Structure 1
């Protein structure tokens, strides 16, 4: 897999793909409705509208409430103005998500978009939906069971980008093996975490010394901080750690807090993912080295188009790959992530529809923003 060299080109291509697909899909649905079709055997049409369920996994990660949900709802409204979106967030609780799904199915939802807390446990949701002839689109994480479609990013590439960026930063200070690194991976119940981890190891194995490595339950920021503290103690403290691979931004915040508390000054390079506002500010200030931005808008809009197509029995034209989840091989759209460092914040996330410069450059970060060309 190749590292992205032109982030903005990728963003433009991804957005164009989604917008083109959305327009094409809408036109096809309207055409079929005019011909008296478009029901997919269920009697559902865009003209009449129907119920679309969106199940997101947690709210510790800021992206879901701020970006994924509103982008998804807006695209559904554009493609199917009479459709109703039912939404629930499981707050990282598997049982809660199961209950939310059952409530939506009882309430007559016609299609589910599911970002699973636990992808294995999610098979129960998928099977229950199938028994009611309700298609399920797996969103961001590949749920098990007879799903109808899948949209996400190239997760192994995410991990490889993180690993390559960390290695590059470490090498600027000398021999990459002059001291060990710490690895803070994601939740073992999230298959994406395993793919990030695999990609990171592709970049790092043989190049660095991995002093301590952890798989972090529930993507817990507090647990990541504790793991980093344990690793620092075991490895010998300041000067004995040259970098920290962290799978996402929330946990990166915990790791950085542990490094600072242990007396690391400056903090060694730390990776992240999700381009959270706090992480972008840490990158601007130099506390975090990089994050991986997964453009939420094209992902959410693709999921909306997939869901509407599945509900009315149409083929979603934007699915360009196949993905096997162990039960079925489904049509999938796999988008390209974008690495973000201080050098390209301005060209990636510091613009609509993501963050404004004023949000990033609060008084605490004003000087650092000027240095980065934001203020």
Structure 2
């Protein structure tokens, strides 16, 4: 009897070596998403919402926690450290500052915690993945819209993003690839150019006011890198009686931006499927927790400032122009509804009355 039992145990162990037990995400596994700020409503209202929703479907046994650093780099680093100390298995980080966030990725690496750079690149060789649309092409589409809607000799104001956000630099590089030749040939005039620290609309408004003062309102286009900057610029233009008379670009298709597009004040924005970004991130998180194969998600690599080749998970982006563009966003993003858009003065427009 004893001999038979030993043989059975040996056979069982042998079979386990041939058919290893699949690693599964476990109840109580912790995943933490770190948001950069609440100046842009998309982080909490769309990205975090969709990520939590996707994780509930894809890995319902996993605990997901969201923290917002409110544009404080030290707070974001402390949130990451606390998450790792509490046993987080994966960090999804939207960096305030791509350089400073390298400390997060390096610290996580020491504890074998993968770090996904969501939306904004983290300048560390230990960044596990980057999930984003092409920010360069986003800038290209913004600048092309300005070129297409201005004429020879027109003066342009450039409201760039935050200098600490690597996306802002990529957007600007994309813009320059289109508009710089026009500046060089004097076919368009670079009247005023400013970075907007922290993507802060207050800073953007101040910059736009200064531009209009310097140029004596001789401005025929605003090349704005996101919707927050655009909103601030339009507030300045309204004050000067210029709103709706010149093209203004943006990025993110916020409710406020879509309202301004209906009113004719903002003429362009760029939409990305935040639900798809969040879903693919959640899928990769689950694979990381289960030591699964995620190679099918990787579509090449992107070199960051350290020349580290970071695996890239791309998402689409769409240029949104005019009322048809607003309709397109409403159709594609279920968190953007007519009820949310059709408020205040916008509710009185034909777009809201007739639809």
312, 319, 323: which one aligns with 1:332: 312
| Residue matched to 1:347 | 328
| Residue matched to 1:298 | 276
Residue 351 of structure 1 deviates from its aligned partner by 5.2
> SS of 2:297's equivalent?
coil
Residue 327 of structure 1 deviates from its aligned partner by 5.6
Matched, 1:232 2:212: yes
Q: Find the aligned partners of 2:316 and 2:132 in 1 and give their Cα distance.
A: 9
> SS of 2:88's equivalent?
coil
Going from structure 1 to structure 2, the CA distance change for 1:359 and 1:329 (only over 3 Å counts) comes to same
Over alpha carbons, which structure has the higher Rg? 2
Residue 212 of structure 1 deviates from its aligned partner by 0.9
Matched, 1:82 2:82: no
Q: Give the TM-score normalised by structure 1.
A: 0.83
Q: Find the aligned partners of 1:132 and 1:327 in 2 and give their Cα distance.
A: 23
Residue 303 of structure 1 deviates from its aligned partner by 1.3
> SS of 1:160's equivalent?
helix
Q: Find the aligned partners of 2:245 and 2:72 in 1 and give their Cα distance.
A: 33
Q: Is the 8 A contact 1:260 1:267 kept in 2?
A: no
Going from structure 1 to structure 2, the CA distance change for 1:261 and 1:62 (only over 3 Å counts) comes to same
> SS of 1:156's equivalent?
helix
> SS of 1:218's equivalent?
helix
223, 228, 233: which one aligns with 2:203: 223
Q: Is the 8 A contact 1:53 1:87 kept in 2?
A: yes
Going from structure 1 to structure 2, the CA distance change for 1:131 and 1:337 (only over 3 Å counts) comes to same
Size of the aligned set, in residue pairs, is 328
Matched, 1:357 2:331: no
162, 178, 182: which one aligns with 1:203: 178
Q: Find the aligned partners of 2:22 and 2:152 in 1 and give their Cα distance.
A: 60
Residue 262 of structure 1 deviates from its aligned partner by 2.6
- Superposition RMSD in Å: 1.8
Going from structure 1 to structure 2, the CA distance change for 1:319 and 1:96 (only over 3 Å counts) comes to same
| Residue matched to 1:46 | 25
Going from structure 1 to structure 2, the CA distance change for 1:352 and 1:235 (only over 3 Å counts) comes to closer
Residue 329 of structure 1 deviates from its aligned partner by 1.8
Q: Find the aligned partners of 2:221 and 2:348 in 1 and give their Cα distance.
A: 25
Matched, 1:322 2:301: yes
173, 189, 199: which one aligns with 2:164: 189
- Unaligned runs of 5+ residues in structure 2 are 1-18, 183-187
Matched, 1:119 2:94: no
> SS of 2:25's equivalent?
coil
Q: Deviations over 1:275-310 (max 9, x none)?
A: 010110000010111111111011111111222222
Q: Find the aligned partners of 2:344 and 2:228 in 1 and give their Cα distance.
A: 22
Q: Is the 8 A contact 1:137 1:306 kept in 2?
A: no
Q: Is the 8 A contact 1:150 1:330 kept in 2?
A: yes
Q: Find the aligned partners of 2:333 and 2:20 in 1 and give their Cα distance.
A: 40
80, 89, 92: which one aligns with 2:71: 92
Residue 79 of structure 1 deviates from its aligned partner by 1.6
Going from structure 1 to structure 2, the CA distance change for 1:100 and 1:369 (only over 3 Å counts) comes to farther
Q: Find the aligned partners of 2:332 and 2:339 in 1 and give their Cα distance.
A: 11
| Residue matched to 2:14 | none
Residue 350 of structure 1 deviates from its aligned partner by 4.7
Deviates more, 1:218-227 or 1:202-211: 202-211
| Residue matched to 1:8 | none
Deviates more, 1:96-105 or 1:259-268: 259-268
Matched, 1:249 2:220: no
- Unaligned runs of 5+ residues in structure 1 are 1-34, 40-44, 171-175
Give every structure 1 segment of 4 or more consecutive aligned residues whose post-TM-superposition deviation is greater than 6 Å.
Answer: none
Residue 328 of structure 1 deviates from its aligned partner by 3.1
Residue 80 of structure 1 deviates from its aligned partner by 1.2
Going from structure 1 to structure 2, the CA distance change for 1:323 and 1:38 (only over 3 Å counts) comes to farther
Q: Give the TM-score normalised by structure 2.
A: 0.88
Q: Is the 8 A contact 2:244 2:266 kept in 1?
A: no
Going from structure 1 to structure 2, the CA distance change for 1:156 and 1:82 (only over 3 Å counts) comes to same
